Amino acid sequence: MKKETKPLWIPKDAGTTLKRWYREGPGHYNMRHVMGVPTGTKPGRRVWALFAGDDRVWEVQPDSLLSGAIRAAEDWLTGRS
């Protein structure tokens, strides 16, 4: 029985103190911090969002946790959404 291996997300510095997580394999996908939507009187918080190259993938909801964002991205990328 073949064991399923998860795609590898690799952290890389993106210039200053920002870090992006790149998905190993085709597609040039990466996770970046973006500002979330403000709620009431509270300003938006930084959330992780999926990008294909420099274009945001709007079909995948951002998450405040990197693990949640990667899980949502993998579900979308493999068609499990």
List, in order, residues 6 or more apart from 29 with CB less than 8 Å away.
22, 23, 50, 51, 52, 57, 73, 77
For 17-45, how does the pLDDT look when each residue is reduced to its tens digit (9 = 90+)? 778 999 988 789 999 999 988 888 888 89
- Between residues 58 and 12, which one has the greater pLDDT? 58
Looking at residues 57-74, what average pLDDT do you find?
95
pLDDT for res 43:
85
Query: What residues pair up with 31 in beta bridges, in sequence order?
Result: 21, 50
Mean pLDDT, the chain, integer: 87
pTM of the model: 0.80
pLDDT above 60 for 75: yes
DSSP string, 60-77: S--BSSHHHHHHHHHHHH
N-terminal to C-terminal alpha carbon distance within the chain: 26
Return the residue matching tokens 């274009």.
55
Q: What are the Cα distances from residue 7, in Å, to 36, 37, 45, 70?
A: 26, 29, 27, 10
